[in-house]
Amino acid sequence: MGLWSLLNFFRKSPVTTSAPAPIKRKRAKKSRQSRFEQVESRRLMDADPLKVGMVYIEEDSGSDLHGDTFEIKFEGGAPGTQLTQLIIDTDHGPTGWSVGDLFFDTIKGGWGADEAFPMQIVSSSGIQEVTWSVADGGTKLILNFKGFDVGEKLVFSIDVDEVQDYDPSITNQDLINEGVDPITSGVEFQGSMLTATFVAPHYYEVTGTSEFRNNYDPLFAGTTLLRTDSNPSGLPFDNFDGKRDRSTGTMLPLQQQPLPISIGGRVYLDNDLDLTQDAGEQGLSGVTLGLWKKQGNSYVFTGFTTTTNSLGDYEFGTNLGLTPGTYQVRETQPTGYFSVGSIVGKVGGNTVGSTVAGDKDILTEITIPLGDMHGVRYDFAEALAAAVSGYVYVDADNDGVFDPGETPLAGVQIQVIPVNTISPQSVITLVTDANGFYEATGLAPGTYRIIQPTQPTGYFDGLDTPGTVNGVQVGTVNNPGDSLEMIVLGGGATGIRYNFGELEPASISGNVHLTNKDGDCYYEGWENNPVVGAVILLKDASGTVIAQTVTDANGNYKFDKLPPGTYTIVEQTPVGLIDGGDHIGKVGGVLNGTKSANDTISNIVLGPGANGVSYDFCEKLPASVSGKVWVDTTPNCTYDAGEALLAGVTIRLYDSAGNLVATTQTNALGEYIFAGLNPGTYTIRETQPLAYFDGCEQAGSEGGDDSQDDVISQINLGSGVVAVNYDFSEIPPAAISGYVFQDGAPIVTPNGQVPDNVEDYRDGLLTPDDIRIGGVLLELRHTLTGELVTAEDALPGMYPPGAIRVWTDANGFYQFRGLKAGNYSVFQAQPEGYIDSKDTAGTTSGLAVNRNTLVSPLLVQRFATQGVSFRFDAILQIPLAAGQESQLNNFSEVKITTYVIPPDPPKELDPPPEDPEFIPPVQLEIPPPLAPILIKPQDVITGGGGIFTWHLSIIDAGLPRTNGRATRMADVVYRSVLFVDKTDWQSERLRDGIWTIHTGDDSAQSPHFAFGIPGALPVAGDWNGDGRSELGVFYKGEWFLDLNGNGKWDEGDLWAKLGDANDQPVTGDWDGDGKDDIGIFGPEWPGDERHIENEPGLPDPDNAPKAMPRAKNLPPDYDEATDGERLLRLTARGKERADLIDHVFQFGNSVDVAITGDWNGDGIASIGVFRDGKWHLDMDGDGRWSEGDKVAHFGQKGDRPVVGDFNGDGIDDLGVFRGGKFYLDTNSNRQIDDGDDVIELGEMGDKPVAGDFNGDGIDEVAVYRDQPGTTPVGDSQ
C-alpha cells in the first residue's frame, strides 16, 4: 500500500491508541462487527509504518480433531521494533459469555464441546521467548514476547469453540457446553479483536487493535505479509488451500511516535577564549536562548525560549514534546560580554551540529534523528571586555624600563589595532596624557598590536616593551619599529605597561684646527687656528656613511639629532694640509672611542641624550726647508754681497729613518727648496760640487746639526714651519802662479864670475823683453807645517797622487791650481845655467827669500824638520784666500858673461823703519858661496784655513804665574808697531767708546764711561781681583785693560797682544785665582794640533784627570806648545814680555760666537759657543765636546749672547741681547720663559757686555758703542 493510500485508509477507519468505548452490536451469527483503535492523523515520520497481520484457520471441518491455527507476522516500523504483546479478544458481545462469543477450549472436560486443545507453539523461529496466558473457556489469549523482530513469524494452535446457545441463568457446565459449537469458521471468528503492542528504541510504545475479517485479503493490501510465490513464508491468504470459509484475518497498521527529544547546554564565562569551560570559569545566568527547527531549507522559530539558570545551564526539555529533527539554538548576546564562540554538542555521544560563520551566537544543524535522544553541551562561551594600557617616556638609559625619574611624554598618539578578536573591534586611537599614560578599555578579547604611528618630534625610537597580563609578559616587540605584537588579551584581561621608550637625540662634536710648529694639537691659543671647511663624515655601526658636514669658521663641526648607537667619525684631511693628530673625545666626561686608522675615530658609543664632545682633529701645515749654495770667497761662512751663487748643485732630503724623501738642484740663484713636507726631523745632504772645496754648512732658522761636511741633520720641522737659510757655502779653489824668467840680458863681468852684489844688477821685475824659462820644476809646501802639499790637499782629480809639483811651460809660466785657502810656500829647483836673482812675492804678498832676506828662525826650523834646506829660490808665506790667485810669484834668473860692461850706478835703498828692534843675524847652515841669510822678526802667523781654535792665556793682573819669567823661548820680544805705541798710554787716545751700565734700578740714571777705540770690542773682567769688574777693549789683537779700575786708559793699566782682527775675544778666570784672564777664538795657529794633543784642560773639578804629560794648571813646555805667543806689558813703565799660550782647545767652528762662563760654580770659567739661539757648554772644562756637556736653547737667530751671574748664585747664567733688550735667564732653567728678566738698555747695533761692576755679587749688563764720528789714532780704517 502506498503512503497516500495508507493515509486515506486512516482517514476512513480512524484508529486511536486509547481504549475504545464499548460498542453494542446486534448479535448475529453471520454478521459480526470488529473494533479498531482510532489513531491520530500523522505527518511524515522518520519510522516506516508498522503493519502487523494475523490469520486464523479452523483446521476441522466436521469434528473437533485439531486445534485451530494462528499465524502472526509484522513488517515496517522503526529500526529495532519488537512485538512485545498480542491479545486476542473473542468476546463479541457484552462482557462475558453471550451468543456468538468465542472462547478457548484448552482443557478436556472443561468448557467446550468435543475435544479440547491447549495452546501449542507450532513454530517460532527467531523469536527469543514466547509466553502466554489463557483461561479455559476464556475469551482472551495474551501472548508476551521477547525478541520478536520484524520478519519473524509465530505459528501456534489452540482450540476455539463458539457459543451457540447461552442462558446466563443456567449454571450447569454440561448444560452450558451443550450450547457450544466445537467448530469455528472464518466468518464466525470475524469480529474478534487483535490488540498488538510494539516497542522500539527512541519511540513511544505503540498499541493498536484491529478486527478480524472473514474476507481479509484487502486488509493486507500494500503489505508483503501474505504468502505469495515469491514470499512463501508469508501469512496464508484468504483462500489458501481452499480454506476461505474457515479462515479469517486482520492487518493492524500502526505509526510509531518518537519519544520527545531535548537540547541543552551551558552559557559560561570563557575569559581564556579556549572554548572550554575550565575550572573556575563560571556559568552565566539569565541568558536567553531560542529554539528553531529546520523546515525545508530554512529554520522556523519553534516558539520556545529559555533562560540559563544560576549555573548557566539551559535546556529545551522533553516536556516540550520536541520531536526528532534538525534544530538551531540561538543565544541572545548578554550585555557586557563578548561572544567567544559556540561549542557544538553531542547527540548519542557523537558530535552533531555546526557553528555559523560570522555569528557566534548560533548553533545550527543540530540533527536529532530519533526520539529519546538528547543534545547536550550545546554551549556558548562568553568573555568579559579586556583593557590595555602603557606609557610613552624618555628612556634615559635605554634599558626598556620606565625608571623613576625618567620623563613621560604627553600628546603622543597610540593606536590599539585588533588582529584577531572574538568580536569585531575597531582601531582605537589614543593620545598620552600628562603622565605619558594611555589606556584602551572595553576591548573585545583577542590578539592585538599596539603601534606608535608617529615618532615624537625630537626623539628617536627606543626600546619598546611588551607588558604583562596577570603578572606574565604577553606579546612580542619589534625593536626598532614602534610596534608591540601578539598581545593576547583574554576576557577581562588587563594588560599593563605596554610601554614605548623614546630616546633623546645624541650628538657628536669636535674641532679641526692646526697644530703648533711642534706638532702639538693642544697648546695655548689653539682655538685661534681653525681649519675651515674640513669635510667630516659620520658612519653608523655598519660602516655606512650617514651624514657629512664641514667645519665652520671656528673649525667646529657637529652631528646632532642622532639616534643612540655606535658611530665612527672620519675626517678628510683638507688639500694642502697634512694629517696631524686625532683626539678621542668624551661622553659624560669619560673617553669614548678608539683610533682605528688615520683621521678615524671609531667605536663611539652614544647612549640616548649623550653628547660626545672634543672629537678633534688637528692638521699640520706643510713645512718647508730652503737654503742656498754660494761661493764663500771670504770664507767667513756668511753670504756677503757680491759672492757668487751656485746653480745646479744637487741637494737631497732624508727623513729621520734615513729614507730619501726628495732630490732637487739649486736654481739660477743658487737657491733650493723642499716644500709640502710632513713635519718631522730631516737631514739635508749636498753633493759636493767638483770645482769647489767644502765650505760651511749652516743650520738655518730651525736649528740643526751642521757639524758634518755637506750635511745638515736634526732639522726639526714643525707644522707650518718655513725653515730658511739652510745654506751650504763652497770655497772656491785658490791658485798660485808666476813666472820663471831671465831678468834682462846676461850680466857681463870681466872674469865671468858672479859679482857679490849681483842682486843689484837686476830689479827682478818681469818685463816684456825678459826671456821666459820653460821646464823649471817648482814644489809647493804648507808654510804652517813645512810639509809637502799633496794631491789630497787639492781639488780631487786635479793632480796625480803624491806631492804637487809643476813645471813652467814654454812661456816660463807655472800655476798651482785647485788649492785650499791657506799659507803656502813655493820652492824652485834652480835651473841649470842660470844664477839665482831676485825672486818677488806675488799679488797676495809673501816673503821672497833673496840675499839678505831675514827669515824667522821658527820658519827656518819648521822647514828644516821636513828636510828642506834652502838658500834662495823660495817664496814663503804666500797667503791665499778662497778663490784667490796669487799671481806673479816670480823667480828671476840671470846669466853671466865675460864681456866688460860699465857698471850701473848704485841703487838707493829704502831707509830702515823707525825704532826697529833687531836680533843678531843668524847664519843658516847653507853651503857656500852664498851670503848668509839675515833673519827679520815676524808677527805671529795665523794661517788661512777654516778651522777655529781657542787660545787662553793667564795674565794674573800682569804678573803671570812664572814669577816674572816669560815662557817665551827667547828673551827678546820682536814685534811691529802696534796701536798701543800710538796711544802713549794717555787716556785721551782711548775715549772713543761709550759704556752704559745698567744699575738694576730702572729709575736710576745708568752710568756712562768713555773708554774705547772705534771698531773695538768691549770686554769686562775683574783684572785685579778686587771683586769688581773693570772695563777693557779688544782691538785687532790688542787688549787695553783698565787694571786700576778708574774708568780710563792710563799709565797704570795693562796691555796685552793676543790674536788679530779675525779673532773673537773672551775673558774668564782660567786658573781660579779670583782674577780674570784673556783668550781668543779664531783661525787655528801653526802648532795648535800639537798643543791640543797635549792639552790637559782647565783645572775644573769636573775635568777628570787624563794621561797627559803636564798638570792642568801648569804652563806648557815649549815642545808641546803652539807656535804663537801672548805679549804682555804691565803699566807704561813695565817691560813687554812674551809667554807661551796656556790652553789651546778646538770647540766649535767659524760660524759660532765664543762665550765663556762658570757653568758649575767652581770658580773656574769654561768655554762654550752660541749659534742662532743654541748654546753648547763645556761643562767639565776639558775643552772638548764630551759626555756631560750641555746643550741649551735660549734665544734665536740674530741674538747676541751675553753671560753673567745674574742672580748671585755663583753660577753664570745665559742671556741674549736683541734690539735694545736684554733677556736674562735669572731662573737658571736655560730657556726663555716668564721667570726671566727683560731689561731695556741701548739700541740695535750696540755691543752687549756683562760684569759685576758694583761688586755686589750679581752681574750687571752694559752696552758699548763707538763714539760717533771717531777714528782710531793713527788708523785709517
* 333 domain-assigned: yes
CA distance 790 to 30: 191
**Beta-strand relationship, 68-76 and 153-158:** antiparallel
At 561 the pLDDT is 92
At 1110 the pLDDT is 56
CA distance 335 to 1067: 121
For residues 67 and 117, the answer to whether their CB atoms sit within 8 Å is yes
pLDDT digits (tens, 9 = 90+) for 238-248: 999 888 888 99
Whether the pLDDT of residue 890 is over 80: the answer is yes
Q: Lowest-confidence range among 250-254, 823-827, 953-957, 973-977?
A: 973-977
Bridge partners (DSSP) of residue 512 are 617
Q: Lowest-confidence range among 825-834, 910-919, 1156-1165?
A: 910-919
Residue written as grid cell 734665544: 1195
Q: Lowest-confidence range among 754-763, 871-880, 919-928, 1081-1090?
A: 919-928
Nearest to 1044 by CA among 1068, 1016, 1025, 1018: 1025
Nearest to 362 by CA among 378, 374, 382: 378
Could you tell me the residue range of the domain that residue 715 belongs to?
623-731
Nearest to 1142 by CA among 1167, 1176, 1115, 1165: 1115
Per residue in 844-882, is it b (16+ CB within 10 Å) or e — as a string?
bebbbbbbebbbbbbbbebbeeeebebbbbbbbbbbbbb
The band of 946, judged by pLDDT with boundaries at 50, 70 and 90, is low
Bridge partners (DSSP) of residue 802 are none
The answer on 368 and 224 residing in a single domain is no
Compute the average pLDDT of residues 1013-1042: 95
All residues at 6 or more sequence positions from 1063 whose CB lies less than 8 Å from its CB, including other chains:
1037, 1080, 1081, 1082, 1083
* 739 domain-assigned: yes
Cell readout for 587 is 661622553
Bridge partners (DSSP) of residue 681 are 716
At 470 the pLDDT is 94
* 4 domain-assigned: no
The answer on 145 and 101 residing in a single domain is yes
Q: What are phi and psi of 1069, to 5 degrees?
A: -85, 100
End residue of a domain, out of 472, 503, 534: 503
pLDDT digits (tens, 9 = 90+) for 1192-1222: 999 999 999 999 999 999 999 999 999 999 9
Compute the average pLDDT of residues 10-35: 34
Mean pLDDT of the chain: 88
Compute the average pLDDT of residues 1096-1112: 75
The answer on 830 and 755 residing in a single domain is yes
Which is it for the CA torsion 41, 44, 45, 49, positive or negative? positive
End residue of a domain, out of 685, 713, 731: 731
All residues at 6 or more sequence positions from 833 whose CB lies less than 8 Å from its CB, including other chains:
895
Residue 376's domain is classified under what CATH number?
A: 2.60.40.10
Compute the average pLDDT of residues 471-488: 95
For residue 606, give the H/E element and its range: strand 600-606
Please give the radius of gyration of the chain, using alpha carbons only, rounded to the nearest integer: 76
Give the number of C-alpha atoms closer than 13 A to the C-alpha of residue 831, restricted to the C-beta side: 22
Sheet containing 483-489: give its strands across: 428-431, 413-421, 446-451, 483-489, 476-478
pLDDT digits (tens, 9 = 90+) for 978-988: 788 777 788 78
For residues 893 and 740, the answer to whether their CB atoms sit within 8 Å is yes
CA distance 199 to 848: 177
CA distance 801 to 796: 10
pLDDT digits (tens, 9 = 90+) for 320-333: 999 999 999 999 99
At 159 the pLDDT is 94
Helix, strand or coil, per DSSP, at residue 335: coil
Whether the pLDDT of residue 928 is over 70: the answer is no
Distance of CA 224 to CAs 2, 742, 1207, Å?
12, 188, 155
For residues 1032 and 1045, the answer to whether their CB atoms sit within 8 Å is no
The answer on 553 and 493 residing in a single domain is no
The answer on 436 and 333 residing in a single domain is no
The band of 924, judged by pLDDT with boundaries at 50, 70 and 90, is very low
CA distance 358 to 424: 10
Q: What are phi and psi of 271, to 5 degrees?
A: -70, -20
* 425 domain-assigned: yes
Whether the pLDDT of residue 962 is over 60: the answer is no
Between residues 55 and 24, which one has the greater pLDDT? 55
Whether the pLDDT of residue 900 is over 60: the answer is no
Q: How many CB atoms lie within 10 A of CB 911?
A: 6
Bridge partners (DSSP) of residue 484 are 450, 477
* 547 domain-assigned: yes
End residue of a domain, out of 1198, 1228, 1252: 1198
The answer on 250 and 106 residing in a single domain is yes
The band of 592, judged by pLDDT with boundaries at 50, 70 and 90, is very high
Q: Lowest-confidence range among 90-94, 501-505, 1191-1195?
A: 90-94
Looking at residue 767, its amino acid is: T
* 938 domain-assigned: no
Whether the pLDDT of residue 17 is over 80: the answer is no
The answer on 268 and 369 residing in a single domain is yes
At 61 the pLDDT is 67
- To 5 degrees, how large is the angle CA 661–CA 666–CA 672? 55
The answer on 659 and 797 residing in a single domain is no
Compute the average pLDDT of residues 159-185: 92
* 317 domain-assigned: yes
Cell readout for 621 is 701645515
Bridge partners (DSSP) of residue 291 are 329
Nearest to 534 by CA among 508, 510, 515: 510
The answer on 231 and 99 residing in a single domain is yes
- To 5 degrees, how large is the angle CA 1046–CA 1050–CA 1054? 90
- Eight-state DSSP code of residue 258: B
Global model pTM greater than 0.85: no
The answer on 984 and 888 residing in a single domain is no
Distance of CA 823 to CAs 479, 555, 636, 638, 945, Å?
94, 64, 17, 22, 8
The band of 490, judged by pLDDT with boundaries at 50, 70 and 90, is very high
Looking at residue 1181, its amino acid is: G
Q: Residue 1254: left (phi > 0), alpha (psi -120 to 50), or beta?
A: alpha
The answer on 479 and 536 residing in a single domain is no
Helix, strand or coil, per DSSP, at residue 819: strand
Distance of CA 409 to CAs 402, 413, 504, 1200, Å?
12, 10, 11, 73
All residues at 6 or more sequence positions from 537 whose CB lies less than 8 Å from its CB, including other chains:
545, 547, 548, 569, 570, 571, 572
Number of domains into which the chain is organized: 7
All residues at 6 or more sequence positions from 473 whose CB lies less than 8 Å from its CB, including other chains:
466, 467
At 1182 the pLDDT is 93
CA distance 492 to 444: 9
Scanning 938-985, the segments in alpha helix (DSSP H) are: 979-983
Share of the chain above pLDDT 90, in %: 74
pLDDT digits (tens, 9 = 90+) for 766-777: 999 999 999 999
Scanning 275-380, the segments in alpha helix (DSSP H) are: none
The answer on 1033 and 955 residing in a single domain is yes
Number of H helices, E strands in the chain: 6, 94
Whether the pLDDT of residue 1010 is over 70: the answer is yes
For residues 1144 and 976, the answer to whether their CB atoms sit within 8 Å is no
Looking at residue 689, its amino acid is: P
* 926 domain-assigned: no
